[in-house]
Chain A
Amino acid sequence: MADLTCNLGKITLKNPVMTASGTFGYGYEYNQYYDISQLGAVVVKGICLAPSPGNPTPRVAEVSGGMLNAIGLQGPGVDAFLHGEHYLPFLRSVNATVFVNIWGKTVEEYGEVAARLDAESSGIAALEINISCPNVKAGGVAFGTNLKLAHEVVSLVRSRTNLPIITKLSPNVTCIADFARAVVDAGSDMVSLINTIPGLSIDIETRKCRIANRTGGLSGPALKPIAVRMVNEVARAVSIPIIGMGGIMTGEDAIEFFLAGASAIAVGTANFVDPYAAPKVIASIDAYLDRHRIRSIAEIVGKLEQ
């Protein structure tokens, strides 16, 4: 048994495997299959100020090696998350390590959600900021594709909470390393990447988009080489911990991310294919380390040979 303990600055996790926001609900659903406290962290589906109905359907389309989704961040809102029985109170009751993913339609909303969570933060280990959603006050430009806006969101969240902050970077930029530097400058303790990449899939019989929202975020194994490349670019640019994700289906996929420079990883779309995907990835990372006589996961982080 290798030592899977994972140090992410102020936080220490049992192991480096977490769930990608939006692919694991609020943990409740998967706890019926296994004890979710064995995960490094449960990253819950995005939380904003008010309940959000999400997009019209169809919301997903399968594509080669992955899927497109445009769920539209359907969610219960921060109040229900803090007090509803299937949300944070449940996660506390099973002793899960919880990262809360947050989003807003304006810069101010991000600050407000962070403050609300900070005020009742028992059971919350960190906040992950989704900066890939559109700013309604600036014509729908995603916060995460504009350096100034990204900096502004993270700075405001930083000023409203003492919880560790992870900024989830958007891959839809020319130089992702610039964004990593900007959010570190704004006070982000970590970065996670990558979010999905917008795609379009067309039904050639009806000549219509297969998703009601027209475009959807591409996820799944098709994404992995792009994600590994971006993790490596960010690892060369900043020295804070990186949480890598994008198409991880197996432990072997996860090892690629560690070698590229990620200190921890998240399992996303694989949860939809196999509800046991995340614990299987943990077991398989452990087996890889044993096979190579590596004592701890930290020994391989960023050890890509030149």
Chain B
Amino acid sequence: MPSRTVVVASAHGLHARPAAIFTQAAAKAGVPVTIAKNGRSVNAASILGVISLGIDHGDEVELGVEGEGAEQVLDELTGLLTTDHDAA
């Protein structure tokens, strides 16, 4: 499965608003996406799953995408995670 390791840029990590933005994008991908931290992997389209990972600013996470257009989806989600949404 294509995957990528990303360092999260949002000042407050993947909480609330950044988590919502990320989750919506993952759900829109149309293919199964997972996000993992410290080996624990959850459905990236699940805001509660993502929140439960307790991802903070500077944490390393691993994205996994299965299916068609996986690389493109990875590019897009990586872009989201490396943007500081709290700064906006």
- Chains A and B come from one and the same complex: no
